[in-house]
Every structure is written in C-alpha cells, then in structure tokens.
Chains A and B, each alone.
Chain A
Amino acid sequence: MTERCERKTLTMGNIAVAEGAVQAGCRAYFGYPITPQNEIPEYLSARLPEVGGIFLQAESELASINMVLGAASTGTRVMTSSSGPGISLMQEGISFLAGSQLPAVIVNIMRCGPGLGGIKPTQADYFQATRGGGHGDYRTLVFAPGNVQEMFDFTVCAFELADKYRNPVMILADAILGQMREPATLVPEHPPVEYDKSGWILNGAHGRPSRNIRSMYLEGDGQEELNYVLQQKYEQMEEEEPRHEERWTEDADRLVIAFGTSARIASTSIREAREEGIRAGLFRPITLYPYPKKALRALTKHIKKILVVEMNCGQMLEDVLAIVPQGVKVAFHGRPGGGVPTHTDILEKLKEL
C-alpha cells in the first residue's frame, strides 16, 4: 500500500472538491449559496483563512464570477461553485474569462432544471458545460468526476490546466457525487504544477510597461485574431487533454458510454450482464470537453453496439453519434428531471442491443 492509500478519510464529495482546491493552491473563493453545493463555501469559509486565503460570500453569482475574474487577473488561483440557475447567471462572466484568457475553476454540482428545478441528481448541464455556455466562440475544459476521490483529484488537476491554458475549467458533477461520502485521500498525487504568470498578470506596472487585460479588440481584425488564438488553445487541448476510463473492453462486443454517477450504475449492470455471459464493456469519458474522441473511435473498430446512458434526455448522445462511424448501432437510455437510471433498466437495455 502506498502512503497515499493509507491516509484515507470518510469524505463528502463537496468537501473533497473544496479541499482539493486548497491543496491545489487556490487562495480565493467567491460564491453565492445554492443547494446541493453549499458544503463547498461553508467549508472554505473556515479553511481558506487558515492558509492565508480569501473567502467572500458574494451578493449574487453575477458578482461572484466577476470577483473570480478580478482575482484571476492578479494571478491568484481562484474558484467559484454553484448549481443550475447560478451557473446560468455566470455565463457572461465565464465568456469574459475565456475571452480575457484568464484561468479559473468553476464547479457545477448540477440540479435538475429547467428553471428553478429541483435538487435531485442530474446530468442535464452537459450541453451548457461542453458548448461553452455563454456567448462567443469559446470552450471550457470540463472534468466529470465519478467518485469522491476524483472530486478531489480532478479539482487539483483543474487548477493546473486552467493555468496551463489560461482558460476557465469546469468540474461538472451531480448531486449524488456532491453529497455522497466515501473514503478518499486528501493529498495530491504530486505537488500541484505551477505556471509562470509573470508575463501577463496585473500587479501594478512596477518596472515594466503597463498592461491591459480585455476581451474587446475593436481595431482592425483584432477580434478575429483573438479568436484564432483561442482556437489554437482548444486544438492543443483536443490533442493533449482528453481523458477517459475503459473497463471490460478487451473482449467486449457491446459498450456502455456514460460519465459520472451514470457510469457507476452502469458498472453494476455490466457486471451482472457478464455473469449472464453478455460481454459488455464500459467507456467513461473523464473530460467531457475535450471529448476522448480518438479512444472511442478506436474501440468502435471491434465494438459495433453502443448504449449511451445519461441522467438527461440525450445530450452526450449527440457527441457520441457524431464520433462513431456509420454501421455502429447506438441506443440510448436516459432519465431526466432527477430520475436516476437503475442497474436493472440498464441491464435490460444491454440485453436488447
């Protein structure tokens, strides 16, 4: 057993995110209360001052995301978290972060809309998270954790990648992952990677020319040029960052594609299917943007039947349909509005494939 495994503590998903942020060097948090993510600000309100960080409850999510932008412009590792309506309110700010090339981590512990919605688990914000969400031609790197340990680990990684790309990174999790308690190690696998920010941060033009951070370029083709700079970053992300997990795929003749809690439930169904002699496998995207396209395409060389399972009415499904070649059969099972797919339902669908 490694040292990392020995130090496991029973931890709630939301707390794992919050402590992951602290371990990643996050020293500022701005947010507004909303269920089911309140444990994140509550924890950080006590924890951040212990490490010399700033916690501030903002007057709204409009304010929190723009406080995040201000803190990010000084080079501080900064985070906000919210859910449903709050994340919707933040979209203008997330677009500004992307356009201004500022790093920040945004946590969405989803609630099931549309509208005020409810607090039951859902994956209905897949489109909003992976398409950018706000206005303009931008992307947000999106992590989909599948257990409490990953809530911690991916949060640490989110801060590193936000800095690497100077781009907002989102942690997209459902209420089960946020509220669930599991043993987890709250120590990063390696010391968080730091990036040199001295070339762009605002800290007073001391001994250097003054700088400006903005997203509006009115002169000439400035705005078009900015967009090409952003697209280059997204191309690099597509090349370097896709992450996924495969289980039982070596001999599989059919595949479940699911992320987060859905993937966990599907694992049970796949085990049950295998007991009945059905050779099913699991493909779990860990980054929803950039989507692990190459890995999925490679699998479809020998697997021709796919079942997409989501806690929505078929959002990731659109990406899967665009990725897999013709001749691969794609079925879907989803539950919207807080409904959670059962392992028996998924098993039935697997048999029907």
Chain B
Amino acid sequence: METNVFKRPQALTDTPTHYCPGCGHGVAHRLVAEAIDHFGLREHTVGVASAGCSVMMYKYFDVDTIEAAHGRALAVATGIKRTHPELTVFTYQGDGDLASIGLAETMHAANRGEKVCVIFINNAVYGMTGGQMAPTTLLGMKTSTTPTGRSLHREGSPLKMAELLSKLDGVAFCQRVSLHDPDQVYEAREAIFRAFEAQLEGLGFSFVEVLSACGTNMRMKPSDAQKWVANQMCQAYPLGVFKDDEA
C-alpha cells in the first residue's frame, strides 16, 4: 500500500516556476503555501506581489493575489488589511523593493503595526533587472553596477532590515532565516508559520527576512551559491529571532 507523504500544498498551483536553478524563491513560495495550508487560510488570504523576480507569483500561489508597483507592496497591503481585517494579508518582496525604493513604506507600515506578514527575500542583488547593486549587496561584492565591488564610502554599508525593524514598536515578530541547507529551510518554515500566527493573533507587523541565493547574477553554480550564502551572507546578516512579542 502506498501513502503519499510529500504533497504539493493546496495553496500552490500545479505550475512549474520560471525561477533559475538554485534560486530560493521557489522554496520560499512553498514554505509560505505550507503556512497558509496549515492555518486553513487558502480561501481567506490575499498575497501582494512586488516588482522583482517574484512578480509572477500569482501563477504559483492558489490564493488571491495583486501586483504592486515597485516598492509599494506594503501600502497596497495596508489598503487591503485596513478595509478587510478579516483577510490574512502577506507581501512578498525583494531587497530592492523593500529596502530601497520602498523603504519609507516598509518603515511606516511596520511602525503603524499593520497586521500583515512580510516575506522579505534578501538575495543581495536586483535579480529581475540583471544583478545590479541592491541595498543589501555586501561590501566588496561585485555586481553589474559595482564593477569594482561595493565600497563603504561610495555606496554605504548593507542595510540590515531585520535589525532595523526590530526596533519599532509596531513590529510583533521579526526573524532572519536562510535557505542554504535543509536544516535552515526547516527553520525558515517555522519562522514563516510563526509570522502568520502573529497576524492571526492580531499582534502586529510580522517580518521574516529570508537569505536566498541568486546564482545566476552571482555568476555561480547553484551549489556554490548556496555555500556563498552560508559563508558570506550569514556572516554579514546574522540569523535569529530579533523580536517575538509572544515569546
């Protein structure tokens, strides 16, 4: 007798993703979908996509979704959640989106304690537009717009969003996780579950920063890109829970 022990979450459609080999977006999508399934939210959720590689997440998530302008996902989420507090609302944003062009929306939505979940994919580059510098690009790291490497005195140092946001009163839950190996993926899953739980409990803004590989734009093999996340990214961006109002 056969039992199926590993199924596609209901909150995902049966669609192959367009993401590159080794990219973290697909894994992160699955974890979000598992959380939605776990809390029985598939029919009560609106996901807000941002401009970036994940702009087409509507194809993969089998929940209601809307596409926000670059940087404005949290404003859109605010409009949805304020008018329909019974819905579970999450945004799914890259680092260019959340930490550069949308920084004001991020800080203010967090500070207001908007009861939404933010899945923040930190891959240290602008993926969709071809690997330009992101606000999270590491010092010394070469990108298509920092040909000699990011310099502290020219571009400033990488923005640590989890640390910044954890200082705001409106933030109920804030954790940084990584996807570079199965243990980390499991940790990430727990964090995303906790973020949705915080929203359901009405505690406030919940934020999960997910360190994720972009091998294509790093010009690395997928396996090397994972190692790079484990060694370089995790050093610059320490993993851990920065805030949990429940704990």
Could you list which residues of chain A lie within 8 angstroms of chain B, going by C-beta atoms?
27-28, 30, 54, 56, 58-60, 62-74, 76, 78, 92-93, 96, 100, 202-207, 210-216, 218
B201 to chain A, nearest CB (A): 19
User: Please, how many angstroms separate the alpha-carbon atoms of A78 and B78 in the complex?
Assistant: 13
Most B CB contacts (10 A, CB to CB) among A56, A68, A207 go to A56
- Which residues in A have their C-beta under 8 angstroms from that of B63? 204-205, 210
Could you list which residues of chain B lie within 8 angstroms of chain A, going by C-beta atoms?
42-46, 48-49, 55-56, 58, 61-69, 71-72, 75-84, 87-88, 104-105, 108
Known: A205-B63, A206-B44, A210-B65. A62 touches B72 (CB 8 A): yes
Closest 8 CB pairs of A and B: A70-B79, A66-B75, A214-B67, A212-B58, A70-B76, A66-B72, A71-B79, A67-B79
Cross-chain contact A93 with B82 (CB below 8 angstroms): no
A27 to chain B, nearest CB (A): 7
B161 to chain A, nearest CB (A): 17
A-B contact pairs, 23 of them (CB 8 A): A59-B108, A63-B108, A66-B69, A69-B66, A69-B75, A69-B76, A70-B77, A70-B79, A70-B81, A72-B79, A74-B79, A100-B66, A202-B46, A202-B65, A202-B66, A203-B46, A204-B43, A205-B62, A205-B63, A207-B43, A210-B64, A212-B64, A214-B66
Cross-chain contact A218 with B69 (CB below 8 angstroms): no
List 6 other contacts, CB 8 Å, given A60-B104, A74-B83, A212-B58. A65-B75, A66-B68, A70-B83, A74-B87, A78-B83, A216-B67
- Which residues in B have their C-beta under 8 angstroms from that of A74? 46, 79-80, 83-84, 87
Cross-chain contact B83 with A28 (CB below 8 angstroms): yes
Cross-chain contact A68 with B69 (CB below 8 angstroms): no
- Which residues in B have their C-beta under 8 angstroms from that of A92? 69
In terms of DSSP, what is the predominant structure of the interface of chain B?
mixed
Most A CB contacts (10 A, CB to CB) among B61, B63, B80 go to B80
- Which residues in B have their C-beta under 8 angstroms from that of A56? 78, 82
B40 to chain A, nearest CB (A): 11
User: Please, how many angstroms separate the alpha-carbon atoms of A65 and B78 in the complex?
Assistant: 11
Cβ-neighbour of B104 out of A63, A67, A207 (below 8 A): A63
Cross-chain contact B65 with A212 (CB below 8 angstroms): yes
- Which residues in A have their C-beta under 8 angstroms from that of B66? 69-70, 73, 100, 202, 212-214
B85 to chain A, nearest CB (A): 10
User: Please, how many angstroms separate the alpha-carbon atoms of A145 and B46 in the complex?
Assistant: 37
User: Please, how many angstroms separate the alpha-carbon atoms of A76 and B105 in the complex?
Assistant: 21
User: Please, how many angstroms separate the alpha-carbon atoms of A107 and B72 in the complex?
Assistant: 21
- Which residues in A have their C-beta under 8 angstroms from that of B72? 62-63, 66, 69, 93
Cross-chain contact B43 with A69 (CB below 8 angstroms): no
Known: A210-B65, A212-B65. A71 touches B83 (CB 8 A): yes
User: Please, how many angstroms separate the alpha-carbon atoms of A203 and B65 in the complex?
Assistant: 10
User: Please, how many angstroms separate the alpha-carbon atoms of A54 and B83 in the complex?
Assistant: 7
User: Please, how many angstroms separate the alpha-carbon atoms of A93 and B69 in the complex?
Assistant: 7
- Which residues in B have their C-beta under 8 angstroms from that of A68? 79
Known: A28-B79, A59-B108, A62-B104. A204 touches B64 (CB 8 A): yes
- Which residues in B have their C-beta under 8 angstroms from that of A216? 55, 67
User: Please, how many angstroms separate the alpha-carbon atoms of A69 and B77 in the complex?
Assistant: 9
